[in-house]
Chain A
Amino acid sequence: MSKYENDRETTPYGIESLQQHLTETKLRLALLQYQKQQDEAWQGEYEALPLDAPQKIEEAHFFEKTEAQTLRLIKKHENSHRRAPKVRRTFKVLPAAAIIVLVLMLSFATVLAVSPQLRIHMIRMLYKVMPQYTEVSFSPDPDHFFDVPEGWQGLYYPAYIPEGYYQTNIVSGKKSSKVVFSANDNHYLFFSEHKLGVESNINSENSVVEEIDINGKTGLIIQNGDYNMIVWANDEKCFTLYVTENADIAIKIAKSVMRIK
């Protein structure tokens, strides 16, 4: 989905809301452009100063005195931001349901190359339980597919990305693969896949931490008012999902992560 299509999805329809949206967007753009010009002017003046200018000497002394303390502070707060969570265990009983006919989306993916992304089509399995036999059929589902960035080297990828998000960055390597999506109004989504065995501290301050089930594997959801984070692993990889959406959407994304290779 292109950026423009995403914008279309999140732009309001009502005339008054649309006008307000337009005014605010225009103001934001003007403020950004104004600030950019101010910053460039400042930077130009700063760089033109000789190294022995009083302003630069004063600044150098300032950072000489404060650098070590600032770096300690950054380290402390980054660590605290990733502090290991206290787990509050919650158990949920799933209601049992008698189901006769199910339509399942499976991750047995067929891959069609669509430059610059790979398009993964789902396989649709239909089965019907009859008194004496069970009828089963498989077929590619033309209506259900998702795109994977060409450079993605991970084994897994989320099949579900909420409407309005567009990919802004991707870094993929042997040890880990990470992708960042953005949407309007400072919404973002961060998904990463790592090899098993990595350790990490997660910021759980002012958050509720619960155990959840992600496709049969235990995971943790860290619920904050502003964002939700889910960490989980399967037999091959461990995953992190960080999204500025509610818990239901976060879980839906996590559950959609499937093997693509």
Chain B
Amino acid sequence: MLSIFATILDDNQRSFMEALYYDYRSIMYGAAFQVVQHHQDTEDIIHDTLIKLIEKTPLLMTFDCFTLRSYIVISVRRTAIDLLRKRGRKNELLFEEDSFLDTLASNNTSVDDELIREAEADQLHKALDLLKEKQRDLLNMRYFLNLNDEEIAEIYGLKSGSIRSLLSRARKELADIIRETENEQI
């Protein structure tokens, strides 16, 4: 991160994104290829992600290297999911449109949220590990990339109401896993 920061703040040096590309291209490649398993698509994903990241340069400058790396990886996954949906490919990372989604919100949202709020860090970590990958992606888009319902809905090709329900379900799922692990410990 230090090298990147020094670069962007030095008018005579190579560009910020160029430095970022060289520093993180391996992990970008790995994250994209893992999802699409296709070289041309991997290239498209890396390009689209870099274009999105260029617009976020001042924000990226404020990150430490770990947060920056994670932000890049999650951004790559977001672009990959977007591409899968645009190409009409069936994939387990995508959500099926469900006409009942809009009306199906958990009745115990506040109870689930309370459980998440009061969970220990390692409990949450284990629960995240057990959560479905696509639900983890959804939570990352909301809580890490700070995308709103409409922006996430566009990526998945769903209605924003569906995204609200899916997020509610993901938090419920997380709370259920925490409950189960608590019961196992007892």
**A23 touches which one: B21, B59, B116 (CB < 8 A)?**
B116
Minimum CB–CB distance for B109 against chain A, Å: 10
Q: How far is the CA of A66 from the CA of B140 in the complex (A)?
A: 28
User: Would A31 and B66 be within 8 Å (CB), given that A19-B117, A70-B47, A185-B146 are in contact?
Assistant: no
Minimal Cβ-Cβ distance residue in A for B112: A23
Give B11-63 interface residues, CB cut-off 8 Å to A. 11, 15-18, 21, 25-27, 29-30, 39, 42-43, 46-47, 50-51, 54-55, 57-59, 61-62
- Binding-face segment, B85-93, B100-108, B120-128, B158-166: B120-128
Contacting pair A188 B39 (CB below 8 A) = no
Q: How far is the CA of A211 from the CA of B152 in the complex (A)?
A: 36
B74 within 8 A of A: yes
Contacts of A28 on B, CB cut-off 8 Å? 143-144
Contacting pair A188 B62 (CB below 8 A) = yes
**13 more A-B contacts (CB under 8 A) besides A43-B27, A62-B29, A77-B50?**
A20-B113, A30-B128, A36-B66, A36-B67, A36-B69, A38-B73, A42-B30, A46-B30, A70-B43, A73-B50, A74-B15, A169-B9, A188-B62
Contacting pair B125 A81 (CB below 8 A) = no
**A171 touches which one: B9, B21, B113 (CB < 8 A)?**
B9
Contacting pair B125 A35 (CB below 8 A) = no
- Tell me the B residues contacting A by CB distance below 8 Å: 5-6, 9-11, 15-18, 21, 25-27, 29-30, 39, 42-43, 46-47, 50-51, 54-55, 57-59, 61-62, 66-67, 69-70, 73-74, 113-114, 116-117, 119, 121, 124-125, 128-129, 136, 139-140, 143-144, 146, 171
Q: How far is the CA of A190 from the CA of B59 in the complex (A)?
A: 10
> 9 smallest A-B Cβ distances: which pairs?
A171-B9, A35-B70, A30-B124, A28-B143, A182-B62, A23-B113, A74-B17, A34-B128, A23-B117
- Tell me the A residues contacting B by CB distance below 8 Å: 19-20, 22-24, 26-39, 42-43, 46, 59, 62-63, 66, 69-71, 73-75, 77-78, 81, 168-169, 171, 175-176, 178, 180, 182, 185-186, 188, 190, 198, 242
Minimal Cβ-Cβ distance residue in B for A229: B58
Contacts of B124 on A, CB cut-off 8 Å? 26-27, 30
Contacts of B116 on A, CB cut-off 8 Å? 23, 26-27
Contacts of B15 on A, CB cut-off 8 Å? 74-75, 78
Minimum CB–CB distance for B38 against chain A, Å: 11
Provide a sorted-by-A list of 23 A–B residue pairs whose CB atoms are within 8 angstroms: A19-B114, A20-B113, A23-B116, A31-B128, A31-B143, A32-B67, A35-B70, A36-B66, A36-B69, A46-B30, A70-B43, A71-B21, A74-B50, A75-B15, A77-B50, A77-B54, A78-B54, A81-B57, A169-B62, A186-B146, A188-B58, A188-B62, A198-B11
Q: How far is the CA of A99 from the CA of B26 in the complex (A)?
A: 65
Minimum CB–CB distance for A63 against chain B, Å: 6
Q: How far is the CA of A74 from the CA of B57 in the complex (A)?
A: 12
Q: How far is the CA of A81 from the CA of B57 in the complex (A)?
A: 10
Contacts of A20 on B, CB cut-off 8 Å? 113
The number of inter-chain residue pairs (CB within 8 angstroms) is: 129
Contacts of A198 on B, CB cut-off 8 Å? 11
Contacts of A63 on B, CB cut-off 8 Å? 25, 29
Minimum CB–CB distance for B75 against chain A, Å: 11
Contacts of A75 on B, CB cut-off 8 Å? 15, 18
Contacting pair A190 B47 (CB below 8 A) = no
Contacts of B140 on A, CB cut-off 8 Å? 31, 35
Contacting pair A188 B46 (CB below 8 A) = no
User: Would A59 and B18 be within 8 Å (CB), given that A23-B117, A73-B50, A188-B59 are in contact?
Assistant: no
